Structure formats: C-alpha cells, structure tokens
Amino acid sequence: MPERLSPVETAKRAAARRAADLVEPDMALGIGTGSTAYWLIRHLGERIASEGLRITGVPTSSQTAELASKAGIALVDLEAAGRLDLTIDGADEFDSALNLVKGGGGALLREKIVAAASDRMIVIADKSKHVETLGAFPLPVEVTSFGWQSTKAAIEDLLPGHDLLGDQITLRLDGEAPFVTDGGNLILDLHLKRIGDPRRLARDLNLIPGVVESGLFIGLCDTVVIGHGDGRTEIIGSANGIAPPGDADFPEPDNLFADLGD
C-alpha cells in the first residue's frame, strides 16, 4: 500500500494542482522539469481525461517529455509552437522580487529558453523555496565540455568582485562520471551561500566564454504559487489569495522526480 504523502510532497502537489487549474483550453504551454513539475503533469493529465482539455505542450527535458506524453498531453517542439501562452515550472529558490535559482534538475538551459518564449511564467513551489536572499541553494551554471576547466577558472576569478559569502565550485556528477545535460553540456554548481546582486552576477557570468547559461532567472517569472504542508496554497506576484485545504492527504504513487531539484 502506498505511503501517504509527506508534508513537502503535499505542498508540491497542492501548488501544482492550483497552477494546473489556471491552464486554459487551447493554450500553448511550456512544461518544466523537476519534482513539482511531476505533479503538474499528473494534474494536467487528469484534466485532459475528465474535461477533454486541449493544450499543446513544449517539454523542457526528455524526462518531462516522456511523462507528459504518457499523461496524454500533445507535445510539439518550440519551433512548431512559436510563442507560448504560459510556462509553469518549479524553482530551487525564489526571492520576493521573483528572481529565481533553477537548474537543480539539470534542465536550466531549456527551461530558460522556454520561459523566455512565453507570455507568462508561473512557478510552483513549496514554501521552503521562498528565501530572503538567493544563494543557499548552489547556483547551477551550464558550460561547454570543451575547456570547462578554463571556464571554471574564469568564474573563480569573477566571483571576488560580487557580494557573495562563498566561492566553492564543483563539477556536477552522475555517479562517478560528469553529469551531461540534454544539450550535451556540463554543469558547474557554485556554492555561494548569498547572492547580493543576482542581476549583475547573471550578466557577468554570461559574458564568460564557455558559459552557456546560468540558473539565475531574472525578470521571467511574474507569479509564484506556493503550496503548504496542510494543502493550502497562496499566490504571490500578479495575484494574491488563499485556497482551502481540499483533499491533500491521500495515498499516491512515488514521484519519479522526487530526487531532483525543481
């Protein structure tokens, strides 16, 4: 018998359900990657089955594409979809200005491209992801495999000029081998502890040859749906509100993305 959901999974599920209810018929939708996006895909599949909801989805990773296809979501690539109405994705951290740190699941480049091609971006997260200052979660930076050590050294030289509390940089691994993104790149995780000026750091990182993209999402998100362990949700950004607890506590199958970031 499946175990009942933990408070964190309950919060993720509640946020995902609230966001899924905001999806309108015939939308072109960017679908994120991660443990919270897993619940979004499940709820969209439920709406497709029960309501006949028609949407077109653009997945941000191969894992998302596989799950979304099984849920009955019609998928196309970004070129075929053109401009998207909405992207819904998770985040590893967000601040009160709705700046984000993303990339814990390794899909930050595609996630940022899809978000930038959307009219709106909604983030779904549990309340622990809301921070006063970004940086406690390691900042992912996607880099080319060619010359990655030189790119790492250039980032190390850059960091002392920024308002940070840490400077450790580690190459992300998949077991004993380097983690490789869907785009064939590597990820350096920057353990900064505090990012005093996210906009400036994002700009300066992207000026380094070999850096493909950073996990700082600045000016892309306009709404965050926060889930709580008792099933409540709240929306910050473009609207505000509290939803009733609903039916948050019940058995569910394992979240296949539970070990990934958002």
**Per the annotation, does 105 bind a ligand?**
yes
111 is known as an active-site residue: yes
Q: What are phi and psi of 11, to 5 degrees?
A: -65, -45
Q: Rounded to 5, what percent of the chain is helix, strand, coil? A: 30, 25, 45
Strand partners, 235: 225, 241
Could you give the maximum distance between any two Cα atoms of the chain, in Å? 55
**Per the annotation, does 104 bind a ligand?**
yes
Q: What is the C-alpha to C-alpha distance for residues 236 and 220, in angstroms, rounded to an integer? A: 14
What is the token pair recorded at 58? Answer: 């653009």
What 3-state DSSP class applies to 260? coil
Of residues 93, 111, 142, 213, which has the active-site annotation?
A: 111
**Per the annotation, does 91 bind a ligand?**
yes
**Per the annotation, does 89 bind a ligand?**
yes
- Which residue ranges make up the annotated binding site for substrate? 33-36, 89-92, 102-105, 129
Active site residue ranges: 111
Binding residue positions = 33-36, 89-92, 102-105, 129
